[in-house]
A and B are shown apart, each in its own frame.
Chain A
Amino acid sequence: MLLVIEQLLNGLQLGVTLFLMSAGLTLIFGIMRVINLAHGSFYMIGAYVAATVAARSGSFLLGLLVALPAAALVGMLVEIVVLRRLYKKDHVDQVLATFGLIMFFNELTRVVWGRQPLFMDVPSWLSGSVELIPGIPYPSYRIAVIGVGLLVAVFLYLMFTRTRIGMQIRAGASNRSMAGALGINIKLLYTLVFGLGTMLAGLAGVMAGPILAVEAGMGESILILTFVVIVIGGIGSVRGAFIGALLVGMIDTLGRAFLPAFFRLFLATAHADGVAASVASMSIYILMAIILVWRPKGLLPAHT
């Protein structure tokens, strides 16, 4: 029973990380109608910048403070230089261009930082573990990740519902030409939204830095999951992304944790482990297929 609770926490933590990634991606798609495959690159940039600054200064927080604007700035630069040319184009062109960006950024990090993965440590004040439930020490850093993710979710909710800029973003998403006619600077708005999205990806990267290997190409492994999340949640919907991310995080974690035991009930151990491993890695895609059959536009489709 304790194990189940611990695995639920693990699932929540993975889900929250996925949310940070998918919120940005779904915003960009929902509002700008751009498929941005390079989203993982901003995750990587966040991690690399934070790891470098943290190693030089010895302060994780300083790393975080530098990495967020860095990811946002690079994102806005990419929007101005590359993506602006693609709004009117077909999705295929966007996919090709942003796929090219992935390769560009991966090689760039190799040129700047070298091939060796960087080291990034958990800040000392988060390095211990906390016994949330007696008997199960849970790493404090992972609890911090959950906290940050939930804070961002609240922040985004308030921004969209309570602020002027949030209203403008929603207006831009529903009808871009009408919003433009009402005097909203759509160009600027798009750049800002893109910067916000990439900053969230950068934040996810910083938070992942101490847990994962900071290396060129680290963005791609999470990018696929991120796309699954936004497809499940409904493309363009931040609320959908939140629910989708938690679902995917939970299903993936619980599948990996408990499927082997489940298959051992009626299969030989060696065989059960193999089958469980395969089914666990398929589980989120099966989930996606089921949800798409049931609701082709995702759980909470954006108003389109």
Chain B
Amino acid sequence: MKKLCVLLVVCGLLVPNLALSVEPVKIGMVTTLSTKAGYLGEEVRDGFKLAIAQEQGKLGGVPVELMVEDDGRDPGKAKQIANRFMKRDDVKIMTGIIFSNVALAVVPKVVRSEVLYISPNAGPSALAGKGCNENYFNVAYQNDNLDEVVGKYVSEAGFKNVYLLAPNYPAGKDHLAGFKRYYTGKISGEVYTKLGQSDYAAEIATLRAAKPDAVFFFLPGGMGINFLKQFSQAGLSKTIPVFGPAFSFDERILGAVGAAALGVKNGSQWSHDLDNPANKQFVAAFKEAYDRTLTLYASQGYEAARLIGSALKSVGGDVDKLDQLRSAVRKADFESVRGKFSFASNQHPIQNIYIREVVEDGKGGYTNQTLKAVFTDHGNAYVDACSMK
């Protein structure tokens, strides 16, 4: 009896230790799952989960536990969730934020608290330049990248009089600035519309009167759907070519726009038809797992997970070795679905950026086809403003 008691006590003592040694690494994901933009977070989350599922619950051979919370696109709420992750759950790695304004509210405090933050989407200039931090990485892009590529492409294609359109808020102005950085022609008009505007008849009539030879617009989500439909209904899509960053042309939006988006060219760092083994494997696995056409956001979630996996592997899952973990992330030692990938000194990607064209997918729907890489090994404009060298 006594022996049994001793045995039980010993076991009781052992069990928690045992459990502790295999306790998975916690990863906190603050993302947007509700509101109209909820599908963005859904894609990032599902891409991330796919990477974990492919390793049977591990990343880089280390067991992980993904905790997902919805921020409802609300910076205040996102802050609360991040605090809870850090204080209650003792999370050392965070990711997931979709919107730049949310990221600006959350990221500075997170990275100051010695927590690694890997951004799968939002890449505001403030966090790439002066506000850069050694604990902040962006695995997707710097926000301006997808506009810069279009600016360059439009100039190369010989368009000289482009009309610009964006919502009247900071990100809208940033995106147009990104376009203008590499565009060499004349600007036919620059219009800022109300955020969330639904009717663009007035803008379209003014645009027609200005007779530009191309249109560049940044109107994320429903605004882009509205504009494209109305632009096409006004009969302009046949005469004035349309360009934009990928945000208005992901496969989900294309389903709602229909034929009106056909032939539109857009800039993206990823496309489902990029020809490399990692990407082919990823696209097939995603379709198999979720039975839907994937968007660039899914690839970003997947890449975030794979990047974290590569770093966890090199420290053997010990997230308390922050310095080693951080330098492992900086190496970006994983097989990217974008092919060649590395980090610039401000810890934003150096990668190829492509122009894609909206085409019919042969099944009654629409999808993007990669035309060419306009930038190879492209960094970002804020490297010099960042104090990290």
A interface residues (Cβ-Cβ under 8 A, vs B) = 3, 6-7, 10-11, 13-14, 17, 107, 110, 115-119, 121-122, 127, 129, 137, 139, 141-142, 208, 210-218, 221-222, 252-254, 256-257, 260, 269-270, 273-274, 277-278, 280-281
Contacts and interface: CB of A to CB of B under 8 A. Distances in A.
B227 to A, nearest CB: 10
A115 B38 contact: yes
A142 B201 contact: yes
A217 B35 contact: yes
Nearest to A5: B205
Nearest 10 Cβ contacts at the A-B interface: A213-B225, A277-B192, A117-B256, A10-B201, A213-B222, A256-B202, A257-B202, A115-B39, A281-B194, A277-B168
Given A119-B257, A137-B234, A257-B202, 4 more contacts: A3-B205, A212-B226, A257-B205, A273-B190
A219 to B, nearest CB: 11
A240 B110 CA distance: 53
A7 B202 contact: yes
Contacts of B189: 260
A115 B256 contact: no
Given A7-B205, A278-B168, A256 B36 contact: no
A116 B252 contact: yes
A127 B260 CA distance: 12
A107 B191 CA distance: 33
Nearest to A117: B256
A6 B235 CA distance: 14
Contacts of B258: 119, 121
Nearest to A107: B34
Contact of B191 (A116, A117, A254, A273): A273
A277 B35 CA distance: 26
Contacts of A215: 36, 222, 225, 256
B312 to A, nearest CB: 31
Interface residues of B, number: 38
A139 B36 contact: no
A15 to B, nearest CB: 11
B36 A6 contact: no
Contacts of A273: 190-192
A225 to B, nearest CB: 9
17 contacts: A10-B199, A14-B199, A117-B252, A117-B255, A137-B234, A211-B229, A211-B233, A212-B229, A213-B198, A213-B222, A215-B36, A253-B201, A257-B202, A274-B192, A277-B192, A278-B168, A281-B194
A149 B370 CA distance: 44
Contacts of A118: 256
Contacts of A257: 202-203, 205-206
Contacts of A142: 201, 233
A131 B387 CA distance: 59
Contact of A222 (B38, B198, B255, B256): B198
Given A129-B235, A142-B201, A115 B253 contact: no
Contact of B168 (A13, A212, A281): A281
Nearest to A256: B202
B36 A216 contact: yes
A13 B201 contact: yes
A186 B42 CA distance: 48
B257 A122 contact: no
Given A210-B229, A273-B191, A274-B192, A217 B36 contact: yes
A201 to B, nearest CB: 15
A277 B229 contact: no
A218 B196 CA distance: 10
A128 B38 CA distance: 35
B1 interface: no
B277 to A, nearest CB: 30
B168 A213 contact: no
Interface string B209-241: 100000000000110011001100111000000
A257 to B, nearest CB: 4
Contacts of B225: 117, 212-213, 215
B193 interface: yes
B193 A256 contact: yes
A278 B167 CA distance: 11
A211 B230 contact: yes
B235 to A, nearest CB: 5
Most buried by A among B36, B39, B258: B36
A271 B42 CA distance: 39
A281 B201 CA distance: 15
B280 to A, nearest CB: 25
Most buried by B among A3, A10, A278: A10
A254 B234 CA distance: 18
B202 A253 contact: yes
Contacts of A221: 196-198
Nearest to B197: A221
A213 B226 contact: yes
Most buried by A among B39, B193, B194, B221: B194
B354 to A, nearest CB: 24
B39 to A, nearest CB: 4
Contacts of B233: 122, 127, 129, 139, 141-142, 210-211
Nearest to B222: A213
Given A117-B256, A119-B255, A119-B256, A277 B202 contact: no
Contact of A139 (B206, B235, B252, B257): B235
Nearest to A121: B258
A119 B191 CA distance: 27
B299 to A, nearest CB: 18
A262 to B, nearest CB: 12
A278 B229 CA distance: 25
A273 to B, nearest CB: 5
B177 to A, nearest CB: 11
Contacts of B199: 10, 14, 17, 211-212
A253 B203 CA distance: 9
Most buried by A among B38, B198, B255: B198
A116 B201 contact: no
B228 to A, nearest CB: 10
Interface string B178-199: 0000000000011111101111
